[in-house]
Chains A and B, each alone.
Chain A
Amino acid sequence: MIRPAPDRSRARTARVSAKLKEWFRPPRRLRITRGGALLTGAIVALGFAALNTGNNLLYLVLGALLGLIMVSGWLSEQMLRRNQIERRVPRAATAGEPLRLVYEITNHKRRLPTLSIELREAAFNEAAYLQSAWPGRSGVARTTVTVRRRGVYPLSRIVLSTAFPFGLFIKERDIEVRGYLVVWPRTDRIVRRPRLAGEPARRTGENAAVTAGSGRGDYRGLRGYVPGDDPRDVHWRSTARLGQPVVREYEREAAQALWVCLDVRVPADDRAEEAVEIAAALVARAIGEGQRVGFASNETVIDLGSGPGQLERVLDALARVRFRTDAPPLVLPASSEECVLVTSAPTRSVTCADLFEAGGA
């Protein structure tokens, strides 16, 4: 008998209930502040007093307070309407570090400004505050959020709320602005150095006698340009001849290639995330030292490259990594001497020059 996996049905219930909640979400929501509660209490009390005593002046005051609520409702509604909102997200952010979200709000109203509205992503708690956007012009609101975990976060709903004009009631509405946020994993995890085959030998001996300035070793030859390479290495004559950028390659770099391989065919848990962070730290350090680094997972391969551009590509890929046990098996992109395996559940099917096990030593 086949039974659906329990987590799948729970996921489906969660989806259905989220959809229902979405459906029943009212277009405008109203919350009352302390001042508003006081005012409402005052109105009720005044109403009673006026009814009881028949004092005509109290009716005047009561009517004025009700008018105040009417004016407040109308003005706050106007604040939330006819605004065009554009979200500007940084290209990428790092987990655990503050990232800045910027909103540009263009006010399409003819006469009224948009004043004092707060913009809050449905996914986050922090709100950006727009002080003013005059009619026909735009204003900017900024906020800083911190995302703890790496990943790709779809951003859809922004909640606009305002307590304008009197701070008595807070009116909210939703606006759909689709976008997504890529959060890279942290790269500052402390990891030991990878032990590649043959490397210790290179650290001593002849390379110690290399003259200053040419720490990159002998000239090896030309190769095609990979984004991230130093533009000073471009060989212009060959480039002009071939019509494509060509760079000079040196021994040290050619030799020092590091492939970081991440096994995603493991359950998605904290240890898997730790593995991602380890991989990120390895890549970051290697690129920082000028090494050429490549990345391979069960589904993605990023060719060797160096420089910050390569780091971004790898971190991007790491951000999008999804752990599932039904992923295709990991295939090493190069010889196992250049590969370093990072995994949370080492298996015997893959062997590399070095193994970083997450959650262990």
Chain B
Amino acid sequence: MMLRRLHQRLLTIMGLAAVVAFLSGVGIETPTILLTTALLLLALVWQPGVRTHERLEWVFRIAAFLLMVRAIYYMVALPEDVVLPMVDVLLVLVASEALRPEEVTAQTRMYSLAFALLLAASAYRAGVAFGLAFIVFLMTGTITLMIGHLLRQAAKHRMPDPVLERGFLVRVALLSFVMLFMSGLLFVAFPRVTRQWMGRGVSLTNSVIGFSDRVSLGDHGSRLYPNPEVVLRVEFASQRPPDEALYWRGRSYEVFDGVAWSRTARLYRREPRGGFYRERWAQPPVEQFIYAAPLDVNVVFALSPVVDLSGGNRYLRFDRTPTGDLFFRGTPAPTYHAVSLPAQPTDEEIRGKPAAYAPGDSTFLQLPALSGRVHQLADSLTADHQHRLDKARAIERYLRTQFRYTLDLPATAAETGLEYFLFQRRAGHCEYFSTAMVILLRSVGIPARNVNGFLGGQWNEFGNFLTVTQNQAHSWVEVYFPDWGWIRFDPTPAASGGVATAQQRFFGPFRFLIDGLEHRWSKWVLEYDLDTQTGVFRRTAAAISPDRAPRESAVPPGTRSWWLWAAGAFVLIIVIRTLLLRRSTMEAGFETRTYLKLRRAYRRAGFDPRPWLPPLAFIEQMELAHAPGAAHARQVVLLYLESRFGNAPVAKQSIRAEAERALHDLRRRKRQPA
């Protein structure tokens, strides 16, 4: 029964691994997943009796039938996501298979069900949990398949269940590493010449607020809750984040109607492009490799202004709106390479050029209906300054120092207005501040716009990348200077913008590790394509022949050492194992060595004139000649023969003891009684 129980438990673990793999890709989309997981965990510790199982079978069959009907309905009537309803059926079947009692041996179904679940999981953009679940699935699957085969054979030949030693099971489990190795080898080496994976449906993207076409300030009633979901993972070419504050620009908004920001498609003046900034801003550019998580808005986030943007893979397309926002299409989670100039010109540089008053574009001067108080406030703040920059700085300083930052939303709808914020409440979140500054600037005739994006990030030492999460969402202001382009201002108090600002306390070191693994998984497994592949091959070739200098590749170096370390560890393991094996063969030679030592001693003492005699003949000679210690020598020879040719394990002690006694007698020249 033991083997059967083990088999059933391993089957359940296989099912669990498949469910976990699916969870890592989809998340908890349907309640069936939770139910199945609970049932599988139950199956690990409890087995129903045969009669209970029959009744349970009926329940499962009805449930599977109903879900099947639902799946067909989805397929026919709503052709959206067909996979999830089918997977529900699969999950119910998996649960029913796991709860079989041991006597019922219809085991092969679980293999295909769990495998189908794993395949379904691979259709989604799964995280690193898929990799771990995959490894567990392989290891348990190998042993389970083998045990199941043995059990089926025993039943077929009407024999009792076999009894397997645990060492053997462990060795078979280790064989699954061969499968893993093949897996990895095929993964790395198989040429990716076809289309990049297009990803699955929209339902699996994370929703992010603040980047749709219309963003409103009308939320009230509770609090803004921070959301630690990852939005971006950024690697820098310099392997370190820049020192200045990192503003990840998303979208800008031009039109404010008193409640909400929205966009306009019309523009009179052409938006300055990358080249414009490259000429005028002297600071060095920063290269970023951005791995974006799937979101429900296709906004390209990067440090602004972006002077160059190239897609990480071949089928990603970028679009640029007239206001300079960048969008992508083609894949839900793009990887791209951006070059930006995050360091703005200094205030002195800007003041150096007079801000020419260009009466041109009124888009960025649009104002909603406002009371006179707002205009008065703006005038009072900016009256003392002539240069546009100073005026902007004054308003920024005013908002920063006189107001309070809070995540609490206004209590009622009436309190959500901008003027209430400016004059009564004097506290709010970043959107209020940026809106206020834009309105104040526009009311004194300075073109400005509201920008939504993310601020800062958390540097992950484990992976050398920066993680930007949703709770770093931020709004700031861009003000137009004719000779410099759009300059950034941030009126929100307590926003330092540097790396690891005060909001990020959700990351402990464990989450660092997990996040680093997720990043690596995303970069090396999910995003593995032809370019990465050629890069890998080139680097492997360079590592093998180090005199050839590796060519520059787009992905930052430093990963080459990984391969060498892994290969070195592998070789070391092989060497150690061989040495251990060698020791065991040396141990087997102990009997031989003892026997030979004995014979040599007798020969030197003159009792063995014919050294070519085989062992038993030698003993006969000794006994006939009444050699000292012959009886013990006989024992030694018998033990030697038994262990060397008789496949019987002989303790070293016994041979050694007898040999010592024989040699002792020989030395003492004790003659045997005639």
B194 CB contacts on chain A under 8 angstroms: 51-54
- Which 5 pairs, one residue from A and one from B, show the smallest C-beta to C-beta distance? A67-B179, A63-B186, A67-B182, A63-B183, A57-B122
Give residues of chain A (205-239) contacting chain B, Cβ–Cβ below 8 Å.
none
Known contacts A52-B195, A53-B197, A60-B184; can you find 9 more A-B pairs with CB under 8 A? Answer: A42-B115, A54-B194, A58-B122, A61-B183, A62-B186, A63-B185, A71-B176, A115-B162, A132-B163
- Say if the beta carbon of A66 comes within 8 Å of chain B: yes
Over the window 172-198 of chain B, the binary record of Cβ atoms lying under 8 Å from chain A Cβ atoms (1 yes, 0 no) is 100110111111111100101011111
Contact B119 A71 (CB under 8 A): no
- Say if the beta carbon of A351 comes within 8 Å of chain B: no
Q: How far is the CA of A134 from the CA of B17 in the complex (A)?
A: 32
Contact of A60 among B108, B183, B196, B198 (CB under 8 A): B183
Most buried by B among A115, A134, A163: A115
- A interface residues, how many (CB within 8 angstroms): 40
Q: How far is the CA of A177 from the CA of B95 in the complex (A)?
A: 50
Q: How far is the CB of A49 from chain B (nearest CB, A)?
A: 9
Contact A54 B196 (CB under 8 A): yes
Q: How far is the CB of A73 from chain B (nearest CB, A)?
A: 11
A67-B179, A164-B149 known; A55-B197 Cβ under 8 A: yes
Q: How far is the CA of A122 from the CA of B74 in the complex (A)?
A: 57
Contact of A61 among B119, B148, B190 (CB under 8 A): B119
Q: How far is the CA of A272 from the CA of B148 in the complex (A)?
A: 52
Give residues of chain A (64-94) contacting chain B, Cβ–Cβ below 8 Å.
64, 66-68, 70-71, 75
Q: How far is the CB of B494 from chain A (nearest CB, A)?
A: 42
- Say if the beta carbon of B152 comes within 8 Å of chain A: yes
Contact B149 A166 (CB under 8 A): yes
- Say if the beta carbon of A136 comes within 8 Å of chain B: yes
Contact B153 A57 (CB under 8 A): no
Contact B153 A129 (CB under 8 A): yes
Contact B182 A57 (CB under 8 A): no
Contact of A165 among B122, B146, B163, B179 (CB under 8 A): B146
- B interface residues, how many (CB within 8 angstroms): 55
- Closest partner residue, chain B, to A143 (CB atom): B157
B198 CB contacts on chain A under 8 angstroms: 53
28 residue pairs A–B, Cβ–Cβ below 8 Å? A35-B108, A52-B195, A56-B526, A56-B528, A57-B122, A57-B526, A58-B122, A59-B187, A60-B186, A61-B118, A63-B182, A63-B185, A67-B182, A68-B179, A71-B142, A71-B176, A111-B171, A112-B168, A113-B168, A116-B149, A129-B153, A131-B153, A131-B157, A131-B159, A132-B163, A136-B647, A165-B172, A166-B146
Q: How far is the CA of A42 from the CA of B178 in the complex (A)?
A: 20
Q: How far is the CB of A185 from chain B (nearest CB, A)?
A: 31
A58 CB contacts on chain B under 8 angstroms: 119, 122
Q: How far is the CB of A63 from chain B (nearest CB, A)?
A: 3
A163 CB contacts on chain B under 8 angstroms: 149, 153
B186 CB contacts on chain A under 8 angstroms: 59-60, 62-63, 66
A115 CB contacts on chain B under 8 angstroms: 150, 162
A57 CB contacts on chain B under 8 angstroms: 121-122, 126, 130, 525-526
Contact of A116 among B122, B150, B187 (CB under 8 A): B150
- Say if the beta carbon of B224 comes within 8 Å of chain A: no
Contact A53 B195 (CB under 8 A): yes
Contact A54 B179 (CB under 8 A): no
- Say if the beta carbon of A288 comes within 8 Å of chain B: no
Q: How far is the CB of B443 from chain A (nearest CB, A)?
A: 53
Residues of A near any B CB (own CB < 8 A): 35, 38, 42, 46, 50-64, 66-68, 70-71, 75, 111-113, 115-116, 129, 131-132, 134, 136, 163-167
A56-B187, A56-B526 known; A71-B178 Cβ under 8 A: yes
Question: How would you classify the secondary structure of chain B's contact residues: helix, strand, loop or mixed?
Answer: helix
Q: How far is the CA of A51 from the CA of B193 in the complex (A)?
A: 8
Contact A131 B154 (CB under 8 A): yes
A57-B126, A64-B138, A116-B153 known; A166-B197 Cβ under 8 A: no
Q: How far is the CA of A64 from the CA of B187 in the complex (A)?
A: 10
Q: How far is the CA of A132 from the CA of B161 in the complex (A)?
A: 11
B185 CB contacts on chain A under 8 angstroms: 63
- Closest partner residue, chain B, to A58 (CB atom): B122
Contact A60 B187 (CB under 8 A): yes
A71-B142, A75-B175, A136-B647 known; A55-B122 Cβ under 8 A: yes
B181 CB contacts on chain A under 8 angstroms: 67
- Say if the beta carbon of B145 comes within 8 Å of chain A: yes
B162 CB contacts on chain A under 8 angstroms: 115, 131-132
- Say if the beta carbon of B349 comes within 8 Å of chain A: no
Give residues of chain B (475-520) contacting chain A, Cβ–Cβ below 8 Å.
none
A42 CB contacts on chain B under 8 angstroms: 115
- Say if the beta carbon of B134 comes within 8 Å of chain A: yes
Most buried by A among B148, B149, B178: B149
Q: How far is the CA of A70 from the CA of B178 in the complex (A)?
A: 9
Q: How far is the CA of A12 from the CA of B55 in the complex (A)?
A: 67
Q: How far is the CA of A259 from the CA of B115 in the complex (A)?
A: 75
Q: How far is the CA of A165 from the CA of B171 in the complex (A)?
A: 13
Contact of A64 among B112, B182, B195 (CB under 8 A): B182
A56-B526, A115-B162, A131-B162 known; A64-B149 Cβ under 8 A: no
Over the window 127-159 of chain B, the binary record of Cβ atoms lying under 8 Å from chain A Cβ atoms (1 yes, 0 no) is 000100010001000100110111011100101
Q: How far is the CA of A102 from the CA of B77 in the complex (A)?
A: 65
Contact A71 B525 (CB under 8 A): no
A166 CB contacts on chain B under 8 angstroms: 145-146, 149
A136 CB contacts on chain B under 8 angstroms: 647
Q: How far is the CB of B105 from chain A (nearest CB, A)?
A: 13
- Say if the beta carbon of B608 comes within 8 Å of chain A: no
Contact B149 A167 (CB under 8 A): yes
A67 CB contacts on chain B under 8 angstroms: 178-183
- Say if the beta carbon of B123 comes within 8 Å of chain A: yes
- Say if the beta carbon of B165 comes within 8 Å of chain A: yes
B179 CB contacts on chain A under 8 angstroms: 63-64, 67-68, 70-71
- Closest partner residue, chain A, to B161 (CB atom): A131
Contact A129 B157 (CB under 8 A): yes
- Closest partner residue, chain A, to B143 (CB atom): A165
A55 CB contacts on chain B under 8 angstroms: 122-123, 197
- Say if the beta carbon of B102 comes within 8 Å of chain A: no
